């Protein structure tokens, strides 16, 4: 490890869940919990920034008393931990939701729409939806297509087998009207063009009177690139996606994925990163 260039005192730390705070077993290691406490003791505002629905983030908050703010659904919603204060919500245009649903069915994929009160699908249960429930802890609620089109939707997921998702990502996007990003080997997500974790963090940072230069962010996947470019310092997990590593300021030291975040936070606080 070598000494990094000095950075201003950080006031905000935004942390990804899957692949960063959570290990492969979808649990938070004692080491990662201790690292968050160390940030809190330095009076750094800790934010969970996740593509998950707030309802999928909420179960983890019981063991995270240091966390007061949540940026969920890829920046679509910014709220406090109890969700009784909503700073912003950003929804897809209904025509774009309809297009995303239609294209998923055409390609033989399973669409899931994120609403304010849960995740929804107009398909009966299948293997893809079962996989999603295991990953997120949320069971997609089956409803009619007409009911689905009545609710405000943050984003639409396409679920499929890895080979199907690879074909989708190699083909042109179904529309330039919304962003497409792969977040898992079996998941592609569609969100409004102007909504990212970075825009969500900016909304929160403005409220807290914190500048991007005073923020450090931690993540592992492609959908964290806008957040990496926004913050004063960004740290990709060593086991992360190549795109994330290429766009981050720094990379954590190699080691167990369960404790990668703890090593990254320790390195930042010590002023050392590889």
pLDDT one-digit tens code per residue, 59-78: 999 999 999 999 999 999 99
Give the other-Cβ count within 10 Å of 139's Cβ: 15
The confidence band for 26, taking pLDDT boundaries of 50, 70 and 90, is: very high
The structure's pTM equals: 0.91
User: Is the predicted pLDDT of residue 35 greater than 50, yes or no?
Assistant: yes
Tell me what the pLDDT averaged over the chain comes to.
92
Domains with residue ranges and CATH for the chain: 7-89+195-273 (3.40.50.1000), 94-190 (3.30.1240.10)
Instruction: Tell me which of 179 and 127 has the higher pLDDT.
Output: 127
Q: Assess contact for 74 and 195: CB atoms under 8 A.
A: yes
Mean pLDDT along residues 38-51: 95
The confidence score (pLDDT) of residue 5 equals 42
The confidence score (pLDDT) of residue 4 equals 41
User: Is the predicted pLDDT of residue 7 greater than 50, yes or no?
Assistant: no
Which residues, including other chains, have CB under 8 Å from residue 148's CB and lie 6 or more apart? 101, 113, 120, 121, 122
Instruction: Quote the CA–CA distance of 224 and 15 in Å, as a whole number.
Output: 10
Instruction: Quote the CA–CA distance of 169 and 184 in Å, as a whole number.
Output: 12
Burial class (CB in 10 A: 0-12, 13-18, 19+), 111: buried
Query: Which H or E run contains 4?
Result: none
Instruction: Quote the CA–CA distance of 12 and 215 in Å, as a whole number.
Output: 5
User: Is the predicted pLDDT of residue 2 greater than 90, yes or no?
Assistant: no
Instruction: Quote the CA–CA distance of 46 and 12 in Å, as a whole number.
Output: 6
Residue with structure tokens 């679920």? 159
The confidence score (pLDDT) of residue 269 equals 84
Mean pLDDT along residues 221-239: 93
């Amino acid at each position: 490890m070598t000494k990094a260039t000095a950075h201003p005192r950080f006031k905000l730390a935004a942390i990804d869940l899957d692949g960063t705070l959570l290990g492969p077993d979808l649990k938070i290691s004692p080491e990662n919990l201790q690292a968050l406490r160390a940030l809190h003791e330095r009076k750094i505002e800790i934010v969970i920034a996740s593509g998950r629905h707030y309802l999928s983030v909420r179960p983890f908050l019981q063991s995270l008393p240091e966390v007061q703010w949540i940026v969920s659904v890829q920046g679509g919603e910014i709220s406090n931990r109890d969700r009784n204060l909503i700073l912003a919500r950003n929804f897809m245009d209904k025509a774009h939701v309809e297009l995303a649903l239609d294209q998923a069915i055409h390609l033989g994929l399973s669409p899931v729409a994120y609403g304010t009160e849960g995740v929804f699908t107009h398909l009966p249960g299948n293997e893809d939806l079962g996989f999603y429930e295991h990953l997120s802890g949320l069971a997609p609620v089956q409803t009619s297509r007409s009911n689905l089109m009545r609710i405000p939707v943050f984003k639409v997921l396409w679920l499929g087998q890895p080979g199907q998702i690879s074909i989708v990502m190699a083909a042109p996007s179904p529309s330039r009207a919304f962003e497409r990003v792969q977040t898992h080997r079996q998941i592609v997500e569609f969100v409004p063009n102007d909504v990212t974790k970075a825009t969500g963090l900016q909304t929160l940072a403005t409220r807290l009177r914190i500048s991007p230069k005073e923020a450090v962010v931690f993540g592992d996947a492609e959908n964290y690139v806008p957040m990496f470019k926004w913050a004063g310092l960004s740290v990709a997990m060593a086991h992360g996606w190549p795109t994330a590593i290429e766009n981050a300021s720094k990379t954590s030291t190699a080691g167990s994925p369960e404790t990668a975040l703890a090593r990254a936070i320790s390195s930042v606080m010590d002023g050392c990163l590889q």
